Amino acid sequence: MPGALEGTLVVALEQAVAAPFATSRLADAGARVIKLERPEGDFARGFDDYVRGQSSYFVWNNRGKESCRVDLTQAQDLRLVEAMLAQADIFIQNLAPGATDRLGIGSATLRARHPRLVVCDIGGYAPGTADESRKAYDLLIQAEAGLAGVTGSASSGPTRVGISICDISTGQAAYAAILQALLQRERTGKGSHLQIALFDTIAEYLNVPYLTRRYGGKEPSRAGLAHPSIAPYGVFHASDGDILIAIQNEREWKVFCDEVLVDGTMTSDPRFERNTARVRHREELDRRVQDRLGRFSLSELSALLDRVRIAYGRVSTMEDLAHHPSLTTLPVATPEGAVDLIAPPVIVDGRRQALRPVPRLGEHDQALRREFGGRNESTEGPIDV
């Protein structure tokens, strides 16, 4: 909610996607977010150069922040960060396991010094697990957690989800957990230590295929553009393009048979009478549905489905999305000029919030060093990280 976190200070020792996603949402809500970057910058700045020579990942997830370069092997810079943390409400970090402890700013140390501080550690695997110390990135977790194994088609083999879903979902989980911790602090006066792992986040999302395997005894198949446990629910081919159709319940199935298939016998056929039976006989079901739908053009079929209130979706490209009539974009200022981002989904009191600028690397170095008592040059020896 715009302005809800005004006056809240977030210090973010972050990189890549998961933590920056969370802190960009905190910034959208009005928090002041100080993004601590290594001297060469968050490596996500170099993931690509598609957005006016800037990284699409960085532009998306770093709006509304202040960029401060620090070298935490230098005592001067470490003291600067400690001065920031002394005033912070939230500290979020996703460095390699154990890095903040070696720097002397681990969660236990910080919580002892600053009892009201909310500390959020994001990692690949949960503390205390066998893989805690392993490096972990989005695609690796997609494979390790089994997401890739239930994604794609039977012929394609395991497939990556087309976005960094483990990072994004973990960032969203961190954002929600931080908001809960702030609400708890309002009641108790005490902060919290939050630990969130990419593996845990995406594994929790996989409960349906997990439960299917563990208690149903069936390894879920890769269904491509079809729902694994509902039928008909998948892609069909009109005369001039593809369309996804979804039947969610028996009432809709009857309407679909009567009004679209124009075949009332389908609802009384024991192979298709109920959803569980339809799934078992999906191949024959889809063949019969396709025979009918192939006679329509996309525009004719869309108009019919709209009239009888059957859900459907077109199979879009990113070019289609860019021109979709339901898409909302908002401008955001970047060091290389304004760009349009797809708007955050929440509408508050009928309005979407404006997006604050994306920072240039080190844009706020001098101002932050003055504010928190540091100097522009490091004068002390290195700290062993």
Q: What is the pLDDT of residue 217?
A: 92
Phi-psi region of 157 (alpha: psi -120 to 50; beta: other; left: phi over 0): left
> How large is the angle between the packed helices 198-205 and 165-188, nearest 10 degrees?
100
CATH 3.30.499.10 fits 233-314, yes or no: no
Q: What is the pLDDT of residue 380?
A: 38
pTM: 0.89
Q: What is the pLDDT of residue 157?
A: 87
Element (H, E) at 197: strand 193-197
Q: Collect all residues with Cβ–Cβ distance below 8 Å to 384 and sequence separation of at least 6.
A: 73, 102
Which ranges of the chain would DSSP assign to H, the alpha helix?
Answer: 18-28, 56-61, 75-87, 99-103, 107-113, 138-144, 165-188, 198-205, 207-216, 250-255, 275-280, 282-293, 298-308, 318-322, 365-371
Instruction: Determine the distance from the C-alpha atom of residue 222 to the mean position of all C-alpha atoms in its chain, rounded to a whole number.
Output: 22
Q: What is the pLDDT of residue 181?
A: 98
Q: What is the pLDDT of residue 222?
A: 87
Q: Which of 110, 93, 280, 99 is nearest to 195 (CA)?
A: 93
What is the block-wise mean pLDDT of the chain (385 residues), using blocks of 10 residues? 88 97 97 97 95 96 97 94 97 94 94 97 95 93 95 88 96 98 97 97 96 92 87 94 94 94 91 93 94 94 96 92 95 97 93 94 96 59 33
Q: Collect all residues with Cβ–Cβ distance below 8 Å to 286 and sequence separation of at least 6.
A: 231, 232, 234, 236
Q: Which of 203, 101, 63 is nearest to 144 (CA)?
A: 203
Can you name the CATH fold of 9-206+328-373? Answer: Rossmann fold (3.40.50)
Q: What is the pLDDT of residue 229?
A: 87
Q: What is the pLDDT of residue 13?
A: 97
d(CA 16, CA 2): 25
Phi-psi region of 262 (alpha: psi -120 to 50; beta: other; left: phi over 0): left
- The DSSP result for 46-86, as a single string, is GS--TBTTB-HHHHHH-TTEEEEE--TTBHHHHHHHHHHHH
Determine the straight-line distance between the first and last CA of the chain, rounded to whole angstroms: 38
Residue boundaries of the structural domains of the chain: 9-206+328-373, 233-314
Q: What is the pLDDT of residue 385?
A: 32
Instruction: Determine the distance from the C-alpha atom of residue 18 to the mean position of all C-alpha atoms in its chain, rounded to a whole number.
Output: 8
d(CA 84, CA 104): 14
Instruction: Determine the distance from the C-alpha atom of residue 367 to the mean position of all C-alpha atoms in its chain, rounded to a whole number.
Output: 32
Are the CB atoms for 7 and 159 separated by under 8 Å? Answer: no
Query: Which sign does the torsion angle of CA 53, 54, 59, 60 carry?
Result: positive
Q: Which of 214, 310, 216 is nearest to 258 (CA)?
A: 310
- For residue range 78-87, list pLDDT tens digits in order: 999 999 999 9
159, 165, 170, 175: CA torsion to nearest 10: -170
d(CA 91, CA 34): 10
Q: Collect all residues with Cβ–Cβ distance below 8 Å to 315 and sequence separation of at least 6.
A: 225, 235, 241, 242, 243, 244
Q: Which of 240, 241, 260, 356 is nearest to 309 (CA)?
A: 260
- The DSSP result for 251-268, as a single string, is HHHHHIIIIII--GGGGT
